[in-house]
Chain A
C-alpha cells in the first residue's frame, strides 16, 4: 500500500516576533519537525512495515524544509515530495489543503494519509479535515490508537481520543488520519541512516506541475500583536513556610478565588 505522511516544519518554541508587515518572524529559533507530525511518521512507518509498499513524506514549503524531510527519510520513509512555489507562501489552511490534495491525487495510488493533530505554531487542527474533504475521502481525527489497517478490505479502524470519550470508528480507505501525541514512541534515526540520506534531494512539484492557480487566503490579517502583559503579581513573604502558606490562603480567600 502507499501511505503519505504530511509534515510541517515549525520553530522549536513559540518565542516568535512580529514583523512590521505582520508576518511572523521566527529567525534564530531552531526549526524542527512539528511534534505531532513525528508521531504521524512513526505511525506510517509501523503500518508500512506491516503491509509493505511506499511511505512518502510530503511537505509544502521552502528548500529550508529539506533537512527535516531527510530526518523522516532517515527514520524509514521510502520517498519524499516537496511542494514548492512562491504562490504557496501565504495560503491559509484550507487553500494549503487543496494544494496538497491535488498532489496526493497526482500521486494516484495513495491509500492512507497520516497527519499530526495540529501544528504547534498555527494550532488550528483544520488541515487534516480540510485535506480529507478536498480529496473526498473519509477522515479520522484525534486518533490515539490505530487498531487495524486492512488494505485488502479497504478499511481502517481507530480510536479517536476526544476530551471525555474514546470513539472506536471504522473508515473506508482511502482515508486521512490525524494523530495525537501518545499514539506511539517515534524512533530516533541512527547516525548511519542519517548519513545515508544526507544528500537526497526530494522531488519538487510547483504550482504549474500541479495545475493549481488563483488560490488565496479567505481573510486578511488586520492586526497581529503580542498578548497583553499580565498585571504584576505579589510575592508572599513570611518568616517561614508555614507563615507564607497561611498568608497565601488568606489572600486566596480574601479575593474569593477559592
Chain B
C-alpha cells in the first residue's frame, strides 16, 4: 500500500477548487509515503475531468464511467471507489468534507474497514504513518489522530486547507475501470438548485446579525444591504433563526454552518460559544455591538462599540460611497 488517491469533484465540468487543493497537498503526502499521486474520476462522462486531473499531477487517473454514475448515489460511487482503491492500493484516500463526500467517505471507510478522519484541516506523514488534524467540539478542541500504517486512511478535508496544485503537469496516464456489479438501493428522481441559495461556506465576506437588531424588520432593513455593499452573503445567529426572523439556511454556528471567510462582520451578535464555533477561524472579524463586554470583541480583528441601528446604515452608506457600489 503506498501513495495517495484523490477523489475528484467537479463544478460545471471543471475540477472543483477543493480537489485542486487536494492534488496540491497530495503531491507532498505521496512523496512522504513513497508512492504515486493518483486521482479518481467517477461519473457519466469523465474524459474532460480525467485530462484536467492528469494536468494537476496525477500519475494515473482512474476513471469509472457509467450512465448510472451521472448522478451521485452512495451505492454507485462507493462501488466505483472500491474498484479504484483495489487498483491503486493507496495508503491515503482524499476527498472534500462536503455533505455528499461525508455520505460517500464514511460509507467507503466502513466498507474498506479503513481509518476515517472527517473535516480535516491538516495532514502529515511521519514514519509511514498518516496523522490527521481535525477540530471537534465547535473548534474548541484540536485533535491529531495518528493511524497505524498498513490500512488505508480516508481523509475528508475542509475546503481551503491547502494551496492548489499548479497544473500544467504532463505524462499522466488514464486507466478506465469497469463499474463492479452493485445493488442500487436508492434512486434519485430530482436534483433542484436551492431557491435563493446562500452558500455561506463559499462566501468570501459574510455579514451576520443577531438579537441586537431588536426585530426581524430591522434585520432585513440593515443586514442584507450591508452584505450587498460588501459583495457578501448574510448570516444569522441561532437565537434569531429560532425566533423565526431568518431561515435556518442562514444560521452560522454549532448547529448551523461552519464558515471561514476572509471577512466576517458580526452585527449585534454577542458571541455565544455555539456561534463562535461556526466562525472563529474567519481570517478577519469585525464586531459591532453596544455592549463592550460582548464576547465577540475578544475574537474580533476590529471592534466597534455602538448601537447597530445607528452604525449599520452609516457603514452601508460609507461602503457604497468608498467602494463605488
Interface of B is mostly: mixed
Q: A99-137, CB under 8 A of B: which get 1 and which 0?
A: 000000000000000000000111111111110111001
**B256, B262, B302 interface centre (most CB from chain A within 10 Å):** B302
Q: Which residues of chain B from 82 to 114 have any CB-CB distance to chain A below 8 Å in the complex?
A: 98-100, 102-107, 109-111, 113-114
Q: Which residues of chain B from 287 to 325 have any CB-CB distance to chain A below 8 Å in the complex?
A: 287, 297, 299-307, 310-311, 314-315, 318-319, 322-323
Q: A174-200, CB under 8 A of B: which get 1 and which 0?
A: 010000011000000000000000000
In the complex, whether A257 has a CB less than 8 A from a CB of chain B is: yes
Closest to B254 in A: A120
Q: A209-232, CB under 8 A of B: which get 1 and which 0?
A: 000000000111111111100110
Decide if A169 touches B186 in the complex (CB within 8 Å).
yes
Decide if B277 touches A129 in the complex (CB within 8 Å).
no
What residues of chain A lie closer than 8 Å to B147, measured between beta carbons? 218-219
Give Cα A13 to B315, complex, Å: 33
Q: Which residues of chain B from 127 to 157 have any CB-CB distance to chain A below 8 Å in the complex?
A: 131-132, 135-148, 151, 153
Known A35-B255, A162-B99; contact A137-B190, beta-carbon cutoff 8 A: no
- The number of chain A residues with a CB under 8 A from chain B is 78
What residues of chain A lie closer than 8 Å to B37, measured between beta carbons? none
Decide if A14 touches B302 in the complex (CB within 8 Å).
no
Decide if A245 touches B314 in the complex (CB within 8 Å).
yes
Known A165-B194, A235-B303; contact A218-B115, beta-carbon cutoff 8 A: yes
Decide if A241 touches B303 in the complex (CB within 8 Å).
no
Give Cα A137 to B311, complex, Å: 54
Return the contact of A15 from the options B75, B191, B273 (Cβ within 8 A): B273
Return the contact of B194 from the options A126, A166, A230 (Cβ within 8 A): A166
Decide if A249 touches B322 in the complex (CB within 8 Å).
yes
Chain B nearest Cβ from A97, distance in angstroms:
7
Decide if A138 touches B186 in the complex (CB within 8 Å).
yes
Give Cα A232 to B228, complex, Å: 28
Decide if A120 touches B116 in the complex (CB within 8 Å).
no
Interface of A is mostly: mixed
Decide if B116 touches A93 in the complex (CB within 8 Å).
yes
What residues of chain A lie closer than 8 Å to B248, measured between beta carbons? 181-182
Decide if A163 touches B144 in the complex (CB within 8 Å).
no
**B111, B255, B273, B274 interface centre (most CB from chain A within 10 Å):** B255
Decide if A141 touches B99 in the complex (CB within 8 Å).
yes
What residues of chain A lie closer than 8 Å to B182, measured between beta carbons? none
What residues of chain A lie closer than 8 Å to B319, measured between beta carbons? 249, 258
**A128, A133, A170 interface centre (most CB from chain B within 10 Å):** A133
Decide if A165 touches B191 in the complex (CB within 8 Å).
yes
In the complex, whether A167 has a CB less than 8 A from a CB of chain B is: yes
What residues of chain A lie closer than 8 Å to B251, measured between beta carbons? 181
**B103, B144, B284, B310 interface centre (most CB from chain A within 10 Å):** B103
Give Cα A140 to B135, complex, Å: 25
What residues of chain A lie closer than 8 Å to B239, measured between beta carbons? none
Given contacts A130-B109, A166-B192, 8 further A-B contacts (CB under 8 A): A125-B99, A132-B107, A138-B185, A168-B192, A169-B188, A226-B140, A235-B297, A258-B319
